Structures are given as C-alpha cells and as structure tokens.
Amino acid sequence: MKTVGTGLKYLGLIVVLVLAAVPIYWLLSTSVTSPEKIFQFQWFPDGLNWQNYIDGWKSAPFGAMYKNSIIVTLAGALIQICVAILSSYAFAFLDFPGKRIVFLIFLGAMMVPGTVVLMPNFLTIAALGWVNSYAGIVIPGVGSVFAMFLLRQHMLTLSSEVTDAAKVDGANHLRILWHVVLPMSRPMVVTVIVVALVEKWNDFVWPLVSTSTDSMRTLPVGLLMIKDAQGFTNWGAVMASSVFIVVPVLIVFFIAQRQIIAGLTAGATKG
C-alpha cells in the first residue's frame, strides 16, 4: 500500500512537471521555427531559424525597454521591500491603538482588484506631473499588502526571547530589526524580494497606462508593440521576443528557488 502511495506521488509530480515544462519547451521551439512550419506539428524544430530573434529584436526598441524594465523593477522592488519590512515589523512587534483594525483593513485591500485603482492612481500621478516618467510607474506600486503579510506572519514565529534579550541589552527597534529580526527572516525576505522582482518585471497594465512614448515602455508592453509590428504572420519573431522577457525571470527563479520554497513553507505556519 505504501508503494502504491509513493507511486501516485511520483506520478503526480511527473504530471505537474509536464504541465510546467511543455509551455516553456513550446515557446523555445517555436522561437527557432521557420514561420511557414510553425503551424505544422513536430516534436523537434526542423532546423534552427535564428532569424526570428533578429526580426523580433528589430521590431521594437529592446535596448531602451530593457533599461526601463531594469530601472522600474529594481527601484520598485527595493522600495516595496523596505516598506513591507518596516510595516510588518510594526504589526508584529509594536503596540499601537487600532493595530488589529488597521491590519484587517490592509488584508481587505488584498481583495480589491488592481484594475479598480487604475483611474485614481493615474489621476494622482497626472496631478503630480509624473505621467510618462519612472516615478509615475514605480511609486503607485510600492505598497504591497501581500509582502507585508508574508513577512509579518514569519516574524510572529520568531522567538520572543531573542528580541527580549536584545531589548535588555539596550537595543532600539531599528537595531533589533536590522541585527536580530532580518537575519532570522532571511529565507522569507528573499522570497518576498523574488516575488516583487517577478511582479514588477511582468507588470503590463500599469506601465501601459502610465506611459505614452515608446522610449518609456517596458518589456511586457513592448511585446504588444512587436505583435502589432509583426502581425499574425510571423509568430516565430513574437515567440523569440517573448524569450527575451522570460529568460531573466527564469534565471532569478532558478537561482533563488530554495530560498523561495523555504520562505513560503515557513510563512504559513502561524496566523
């Protein structure tokens, strides 16, 4: 009976692996397939057509879009992490009036679809003169309730004896956060950083709304420009352009996958 259960587990893992790997393989194989053979079924490409990558690169200003995506992603993720760490520490270790009510309001904000706040955010950055600027893309997204919630849940699992000992030694809250809490929360912090990086890198709607020139577009928005430029006749170039966007995310995930798994499993143990 135990052998059957183990076999079913491995079967389930294989199914999940296939479901995850097939779209990536299909993307990579289509990106090197000649346009006239894309709609013909074949397990492996009949020759490698690297011209798709050249056509895709020439269809949009990828150099400027890479620069914009890197700036927006790094700046947005850095500010978001700082805000999430400070707010989660406050909810986990500080006592202030209405803490529980404020936390519940924040949790309720997680249920609000992002499209609902598009118009208020746009009117705000328009009033500040930030339309079509890095500040206009980055600032509205620096607050993440999900990141704060994950970090707060993990901080609640930390031993109070360690933080109490630091207080006895005369450490203030910032020193406790920097020298005690953050080193003990490294897996969760790495998880939140990776989630923030992927979220900022893949964001499509807000950069599309808040920018108006090609020089300020990010990579996901650029993919739409490529589809319009190549039309529906050169899907190989569209797929090759998609590879430009996906590869950096996959590299970050493979590098930090152990920290991500450790952080997610550690953060779900205490409410």
Chain position carrying tokens 């529980």: 100
Distance CA 101, CA 114 (A): 22
SS3 at position 91: helix
Q: What digits encode the pLDDT tens for the residues 158-195?
A: 888 888 888 888 888 889 989 889 888 888 888 888 88
Residue 77: per-residue pLDDT: 93
pTM: 0.79
SS3 at position 113: coil
Residues whose CB is less than 8 angstroms from the CB of residue 29 and which lie 6 or more positions away in sequence, other chains included:
44, 45
Distance CA 51, CA 39 (A): 18
Residue 83: per-residue pLDDT: 93
**Domains in the chain: ranges and CATH:** 1-48 (no CATH), 51-267 (1.10.3720.10)
pLDDT band per the 50, 70, 90 thresholds, residue 271:
very low
Q: What digits encode the pLDDT tens for the residues 202-220?
A: 888 999 999 888 888 888 8
Distance of CA 69 to the CA centre of its chain: 12
Structure-token pair, residue 151: 């970090």
At residue 211, φ and ψ (nearest 5 deg) are -120, 155
Distance CA 78, CA 70 (A): 12
Residue 90: HSE in the Cβ half-sphere, 13 Å Cα cutoff: 14
Burial per residue of 165-199, b for 16 or more beta-carbon CB atoms within 10 angstroms, e otherwise:
ebeeeebebeebbeebbbebbebbbbbbbbbbbbb
If you average pLDDT over residues 84-102, what whole number do you get?
Answer: 90
If you average pLDDT over residues 17-27, what whole number do you get?
Answer: 87
Structure-token pair, residue 38: 């894309």
